[in-house]
């Protein structure tokens, strides 16, 4: 069972879309995605610097657009589709579109709304996020509770992302448990926490009229790593996820339990395959960072018959 996974915010780098625009039809499709998301994705993916594409309302549509374009290129190269899909945080929008729950166009419209709404919610209070690497998980979780911080991302592989008020995050850095490293993240706010509640309301209203269908592939949810076979339920979980922790650790446990034999991460790739190499040792992975990686990804997807 070969699956496709879609990365979340922070995976983008300046100019990463440039080689993809050499594929016929990609520029035109990206221009359409720009209209739907209300972001100039061509300029963002080829010309803008790291600070500009770090902006939440830019980063989210940029990442999802890249994932969808590279997914379509993979399917075209392989002549086959993955048996399952999952996305990390905003990557769930790409995963639902890839599974046919809603159209790519509706996905791009929703991610534009999501990015703007989360940026607005983040501006209400001074909050942020820090990655905690290593250490005893329970010790880390106990300290986060003591500091009134939320474990917003359980990424597996010994990585938890804490989110909350900036003074509390500063104390986390000062009181880092033995065996851990605390790395402040360059994000605008405490995503996947109660601070994002206003964005949930906005996204729920926008998603209410979206046409949905049952997933055409196995679809895992960030909520608890379970599979979802109803389209409307998948969208509801996607909406709630904005203010709920990302349980990527449970998704990876479910991949193992389902007998996943290979993982392809779509652009801008690298983060999720890195986590898989630590948590799912022995399962082959391909990170599709550029069109040059499509041949290897297609070969993994088709068992070498691409």
Domain carrying residue 136 = 127-184
Query: Could you say which DSSP state residue 77 is in?
Result: H
Tokens (6 digits) for 132: 């905690």
Show Cβ contacts of residue 208 under 8 Å, excluding neighbours closer than 6 positions: none
192 an active-site residue? Answer: yes
Same domain, 97 and 197: yes
**Same domain for 94 and 146?**
no
Residues 246, 105, single domain; the answer is: yes
The pLDDT, as a whole number, for residue 306 is 42
Domain closes at, from 156, 184, 212: 184
Buried b / exposed e across 197-220, counting CB within 10 Å, b at 16+? ebbbebbeebbeebebeebebbbb
User: CA 62, CA 212: separation in Å to the nearest integer?
Assistant: 23
Catalytic member of 11, 34, 89, 168? 89
One domain, residues 198 and 296: yes
| Averaged pLDDT in 10-residue chunks for the chain of 306 residues | 94 95 96 98 96 94 98 96 97 98 98 97 93 94 96 92 96 94 90 96 95 98 96 97 95 96 96 92 96 97 71
Same structural domain, 178 and 287: no
* Rounded Cα distance, 109 and 89, in Å: 16
Give how many domains the chain has, as a whole number. 2
pLDDT of 305 reads 45
- Domain end among 142, 160, 184: 184
CB 87 within 8 A of CB 217: no
Please provide residue 303's backbone torsions phi and psi, each rounded to the nearest 5 degrees. 70, 25
> Which residue in the block uniquely carries the two structure tokens 């963002």?
44
User: Looking at residue 304, what is its pLDDT?
Assistant: 62
- Looking at the structure, do residues 138 and 284 belong to the same domain, yes or no? no
CATH number, residue 173:
3.30.70.250
Q: Which of 70, 154, 192, 254 is catalytic?
A: 192
Residue 187: the pLDDT is 83
pLDDT at 157: 80
Q: Residue 32 is part of a domain; what is its CATH number?
A: 3.40.366.10
Residues 144 and 39 in one domain: no
- Dist. CA 20–CA 103, nearest whole Å: 21
Same domain, 247 and 277: yes
| Cα 175 to Cα 55: distance, rounded to the nearest angstrom | 29
């Amino acid at each position: 069972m070969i699956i496709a996974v879609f990365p979340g915010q922070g995976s983008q780098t300046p100019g990463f879309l440039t080689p993809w625009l050499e594929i016929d039809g990609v520029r035109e499709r990206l221009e359409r995605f720009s209209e739907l998301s209300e972001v100039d994705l061509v300029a963002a993916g080829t010309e803008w610097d790291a600070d500009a594409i770090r902006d939440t309302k830019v980063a989210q549509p940029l990442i999802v657009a890249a994932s969808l374009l590279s997914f379509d290129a993979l399917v075209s190269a392989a002549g086959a589709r993955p048996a399952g899909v999952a996305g990390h945080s905003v990557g769930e929008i790409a995963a639902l579109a890839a599974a046919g729950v809603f159209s790519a166009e509706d996905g791009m419209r929703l991610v534009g709304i999501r990015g703007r709404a989360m940026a607005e919610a983040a501006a209400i209070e001074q909050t942020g996020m820090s990655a905690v690497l290593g250490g005893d998980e329970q010790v880390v979780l106990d300290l986060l509770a003591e500091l009134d911080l939320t474990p917003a991302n359980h990424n597996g592989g010994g990585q938890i992302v804490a989110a909350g008020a900036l003074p509390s995050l500063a104390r986390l850095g000062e009181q880092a448990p033995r065996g851990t490293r605390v790395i402040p993240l360059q994000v605008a706010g405490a995503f996947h926490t109660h601070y994002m509640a206003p964005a949930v309301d906005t996204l729920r209203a926008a998603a209410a009229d979206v046409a949905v269908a049952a997933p055409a592939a196995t679809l895992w949810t960030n909520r608890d790593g379970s599979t979802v076979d109803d389209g409307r339920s998948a969208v509801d979980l996607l909406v709630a996820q904005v203010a709920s922790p990302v349980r990527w650790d449970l998704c990876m446990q479910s991949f193992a339990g389902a007998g996943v034999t290979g993982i392809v991460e779509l652009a801008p790739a690298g983060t999720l395959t890195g986590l898989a190499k630590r948590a799912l040792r022995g399962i082959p992975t391909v990170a599709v960072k550029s069109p040059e990686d499509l041949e290897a990804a297609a070969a993994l997807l088709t068992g070498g018959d691409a």
